[in-house]
Amino acid sequence: MGSLNTDIEKYIQKNFINVPLTHPTYIANRNLYRALKEIAPKYAKGKLIDLGCGVKPYEKLFRPHIDEYFGVDLEATASSSYADLTRADLFTDICDTNLKDEAFDTLLSTQVLEHIYDTKKYLSECYRLLTMGGGAIFTVPQTYECHAKPYDYYRFTEFSLRKLFEEKGFEIIELFPLEGAYATVQQLKIVSVILGRYKNKHEKMTFLEKVAYKVYTYSLIPIINLRAVFFDKSTDNVDLCLNYMLVARK
């Protein structure tokens, strides 16, 4: 168990918290972490439920502000994404958890909504689980390549999110993009063009070709990541983003 916990911590640090510049999703993960770090002390309280929790990558951000952290995930999707590293306290359908009404003061759902086929059913369940006045914290993608196949169904705009949440009775407190057009395009360039080319050709490549390609990509990726961080600050176009942060109240 100790070894497994160490493996989980290393995975979280590398992929969510201290993401290295060489990481292919440095841009998206950096912005998600920074946004959640800012949001946690403002809205997290009491008993928190993390729906679609995976490895609970942001638990340490929320722990100082809450009394209890409870993670739920669907075993099939969690296993396909994280295998033995999944840290759910309960494996069940997150659209129908069978947990008590109004059992939680805070609800966290990061990068989950696109993987739920019945969006409205999921939001109804989120609303049911929250206490009156409780806060829901969501991060939701607007733009990204298909991932976690075959459990990837939707992308969302600011306007679809407003409509979906307000129709379910939520009051939206904050809703904003986590990056602009420049960073979004650079992130897609890395995962969909540079690495996408490798994914499509690697089986036919020789060993030396694979080594040369990896040296090339992992020397180029940090440069792209740094440019994205620097130049995205100066862009005025936030109509294209990778992800939205949404905070709502019941």
The pLDDT tens digits of the residues spanning 56-86 come to 999 999 999 999 999 999 887 777 677 788 8
Given a contact cutoff of 8 angstroms between Cβ atoms, the answer to whether 153 and 115 are in contact is yes
Beta strands in the chain (DSSP E): 47-51, 68-73, 90-91, 104-110, 130-141, 171-177, 243-249
Instruction: Write out the two tokens for 58.
Output: 């942001």
Q: With H, G, I as helix, E, B as strand and everything else as coil, classify residue 141.
A: strand
Distance CA(17)–CA(68), nearest Å, equals 21
Q: Which residues contact 7 (CB under 8 A, 6 or more apart)?
A: 85
Question: Three-state secondary structure along 27-80?
Answer: HHHHHHHHHHHHHHHHHCCCEEEEECCCCCCCHHHHHHHCCEEEEEECHHHHHH
pLDDT at 197: 72
Q: Strand order of the sheet with strand 90-91?
A: 90-91, 68-73, 47-51, 104-110, 130-141, 243-249, 171-177
Amino acid present at 66 = I
CA angle (58 as vertex; 9, 33 as ends), nearest 5: 110
Helices (H) then strands (E): counts for the chain: 9, 7
Nearest residue to 242 (alpha-carbon basis) of 108, 162, 140, 109:
140
pLDDT tens for each residue of 150-182: 999 999 999 999 999 999 999 999 999 999 999
Does CATH place domain 2-180+236-249 in 3.40.50.150? yes
pLDDT tens for each residue of 25-35: 999 999 999 99
**In the chain, what are the domain boundaries?**
2-180+236-249, 182-232
Residues of the chain with pLDDT > 70, as a percent, come to 94
Max Cα separation, the chain?
60
CA angle (77 as vertex; 73, 83 as ends), nearest 5: 90
> Higher pLDDT residue, 11 or 121?
121
Q: Is the pLDDT of residue 4 over 70?
A: no
